[in-house]
Chain A
């Protein structure tokens, strides 16, 4: 497999000078951490609360700038200045948010929501944009007619599909999703998981996602990154990690999951 993206000693800290507060602010530092993402692989990031998972996702897609370290692309990029690279990163790594209902502008129709990235990042004509929007809508399993719908007219699952379409529309190579399945009910969740797998097969996407649901992680992830307190404590292939967890945190997460599975099996 070819490496698509790698990060070297990526660091982010939110320590601010505390001028007026009595106690020093509780500080949080992410990293320094190294990681790489390969083409067409699925990487799951797991870990407890406040372990820096969401922060890492935001760093990857360029929503926040790292305090130190860098993200490298092993691909032809369109420019070499810092701004060019950031723009390239934002186009190539697209984010899906946890609650799709909040990541879609309630005052715009789906067509306008999906056209926005195209307007900002390409110089396609209106007709070309509409064609592309319809193409992506069909790709994520919606209808062309949904172009004219407002987000509130769609169900949760459909909204999630629109969020997916919004991420796909710029032909990215990596999709980063922050708990994409958490807010969905089980049947819609499995539909969405299958959709992700299908899209990955069709388009050769890399998919990085954060999840608390180790069942899904085990089902779709090729590789797992375990985070704790701003550090990557363990990383490895899914099978290996689930069978022979090394770090304490991983052991705890895996055993918690397994006891749940066992309970479920005995009850069934």
Chain B
């Protein structure tokens, strides 16, 4: 079936595995418009294939332009129609097309490369002309180049929504908004040049259960739209144009992996109890309402973190209160009386809203984000709180405020919550007056003042991703420094211990909801530090449960004690790894 492609060499790329699973699918490259197209050679036998691709690309581009041109209103957009007409003339120009196909034949290069090379030369020629009118035409040429490349490299982002066949999405980088719009039924794998383990793309991929590998550096320069790609989200490997043997191997591996998952699923009904009888509550983190099902399927006891940003990120308009309510009500009803911790909007930084485009900030992660943004946009905040409160009678709902950095923010947020409760009273809408209100501890300042914050909050949930980022001053998505991002840095571990101690003193609940809790290596240490509740990405629940069921609290206490005496991140992580392997060799 791959007859046209058998001559193409297989390429293996190593990146960071961020979402487990294996996918074998045709690639679709998205958002590739501003690419530098690298020169890639083809075998002589492939010349006809590439020429045909050129023909198709031109025809599709002409069709697209004609359609767009017809949509323009005559009176108002005569200019745009004129521009389209110029583009169409160029696209229909036989000599231009011939130049491109000649290049394919004479230099044995790919269609993309030939298009890019010929059109850029053409554009450069235009720009060098002194006449402004002519030199400005260079932009038109670039536009045509982009249009053709779009046809060659795959479809545009919008079309990801209307997919009708299985694909592996390949991109330089994906925004959370893009990932949120993915249909799991058709997007079988994700691979990106940029990103890190805890980038939001990774989190979304994981929660949707789509295998993903990131930080592949130049993958997009190797893959062409339509290539067969294997994405190994367990080992962080991407194989482009696999040979028959590799494909067979992976098909086998893939079914074995599913089997293992199946085996782990068998423990889903068993409680997460350590061998010496300590009960650990294991919850799931979710992004979308329909993931609630996965949490229960995998044996989670509730939702420990319901991220609500999807309401903003996956819809083209500002969500109405009814949309909020429906999203919360559906999840809460589904969970019956199991806890659902709804986190209020954590927008800003890398997650933006529609109407509230944030003014660009020099340091978005240190800027107006999360609870800060909510406190300065009280109408939006109120809409959410109003909807959460309305849903609070349907089950066991808790509210959680993110990114609290000081007591004042907590009090302001609670003050607004109370105001909204009074509004509900006035509207005679029932709600749970005693709803538990907790906060995320994800900044060093919150961790250091946990004893004060504990006085006015019902629970803490330690968000390790941000806590690590802010403690170590490392942007987790920046490949240049991402190796400095480490959950086992002594500074991070000491802060976590402090939060747990202060919570215990104040007798409030404390849990970990960051990625750290879904790392098999770290579980023993967290239990040893005193954590009894965790909330993790749903696919990891069975594995983590199995680890919990294999350890004793005494073992964990020893591990934690040892870790607290260590001063180097490297020693700690290798110690934790070997401790975990001793307990449960088969999980690794």
**A and B, one complex?**
no
